[in-house]
Structure formats: C-alpha cells, structure tokens
Amino acid sequence: MSIKHTTEKALQMLRTLPRVTIGNIRDNPQSKQNVKRGRGQHGGDKHGAGNKGSGQRQNYMRLGYETGNTPFYMRFSYEPYYKGHHLKREYPPISLHQLQKLIDTDRLNYRAPIDLTTICNTGLFEIRPDLLHHGVQLTDEGADDFKTKINIEVQHAPESVIAAIERNGGVIRTAYYDPHSLYAVVNPKKWFEKGVPIPRRMLPPQDAVKYYTDPRNRGYLADPEKISQERLVLAQKYGYTLPKIEDDPDYAMLTETKDPRQIFYGLNPGWVISLKDRAIIREKQ
C-alpha cells in the first residue's frame, strides 16, 4: 500500500470521527488514586473485619471446632478400615515411561546398576521418610515402549513391570529400606558431610517379610534358584523368549547385587566417607 493512499485513508477517517471534547476523553492510567485505604466497604473504618468479636480480633478458631456443636469427627463411629492407616508405608510411583525418558536424556546410566540413590540423584523425585515414604514403586505405564536392558532395584513392582524388564534382558529386584537407612540413601552427600558411619540396613518388618522372600516378586531375600525358575515361568506366561544372562556381555553388571545389610554399591556399613579429605575411613578388621 502506498504512502499516499495511507494518508488519504487516515484523513478520511478523521473526517468521520467526532471532535475531541471532555465527554469523549479519559484520564491516563494510574493518574487518579483512591483516597480510601481500600479495606472494607466503609472507608476502612472496620478494616474489613466486621464488628467486634473474635473475627475482628483475629482470634481464629482451631480446625475442626464447630462453635460448641459436636464436631464432625465425633458424630460418627470409628471405621476399623482406617485403623493404622497413618502408619502404612508409602511408595511414590515411577512409571516405565518416565524411566525410559530418564535413560534417553542421560539422567540415568543404564550401564550401571540403578537403585533408589540413583533415582533420587536425578533431582526429579523426592523421597521423604518423614512422610512414611519407603522407596518407589515401578508402574507399568509405558511397558510396551520400554526397550532398555537394565539392572534395577526398587521397593515394589507388579508382575507386568517385571515381565517388561526381563523381556529386554534386564534384571529387577525388590528390596526393603528401613527409615533410618532411607535418610542416607535419598541424600548421600548430606549424610557423608555429617561424618557419621554408613548405617546397616535392617531386615523388613514381619508384615513385609513374605513379599521380599517371594521369588515371584524378585525379592532380595528370595532363593536365587527359585528366582531363575520364576523368570522362565513368567516368560512362558507372557509369551516371550527369555534372554540368557550368562551369555550377555554385560553379565557382570546385570548380576551385581548388594548385601541385604548394604545400602550403597561398593560401600560397606560402618565406613565413614570424608568428602573434604576425599577419603574412606574403614573399620579395623
């Protein structure tokens, strides 16, 4: 469009517009300030808190108080279904899809064993023992797209997840961590800076012994021979050929495990790690 045509169009528009008067102009933004304080509808005399009483004195009632009535949590009987629910162990989920994405983006090294410490060091997952977190559970979301051969240790895994990992020639293991050991596992740097020995992992409680000694769950306390049998049974159930780990070039990595009392790979309980001196203080034999 030429300049001449643009000018003519602008002049034509000005001919049709009304004249500038007080009736068709407005103030500049923020040019006028309200003299009132803006707290409440009465000019701020009540400060938006009403007349007297606990509401104006900011004496807020506690949660659950119903001004003299019988509270909701006392009007109904106790349900035995919820007995001990505040003490149950929690396992935040991590899916196979997320695990594959961490491997593809080089946040996890699939050529080394993966455990809870490795997952927490990515900075994307938070395990809080103070909230009764006892590790992670591996879910089967993205099981069809998982194609990596890994050696992983989690705290809970269903049958479909175990099949997805072993189908690719990998190894999975479920292991228990007591709350005291979890503080060292989820943040090793903070634990090492305190200068205290590496704790010894405790055995699972009575209600968890059955799960971690079951070879179908790949429990770390199960018989290795029975685990080998269950690997074959699961492959026949899901219809895939079980790769032979013995013939794999990464056999040493796939078979690397931790002692039931050990929480870090290559570090024994009782050792003290000095990050300042870059030294490992071992106990006397």
CA 160 from centre of chain: 21
So where are the chain's domains?
A: 86-281
Cβ-based neighbours of 24, under 8 Å, separated by 6 or more: 18
Mean pLDDT in residue range 159-179? 94
Does the reported pTM lie above 0.75?
no
Residue-wise pLDDT for 211-236, tens only, equals: 999 999 999 999 999 999 999 999 99
CB atoms < 10 A from the CB of 211, how many? 17
| 267 Cα distance to chain centroid | 25
CA atoms within 13 A on the CB side of 277: 7
Whether residue 189 is predicted with pLDDT greater than 80 in this model: the reply is yes
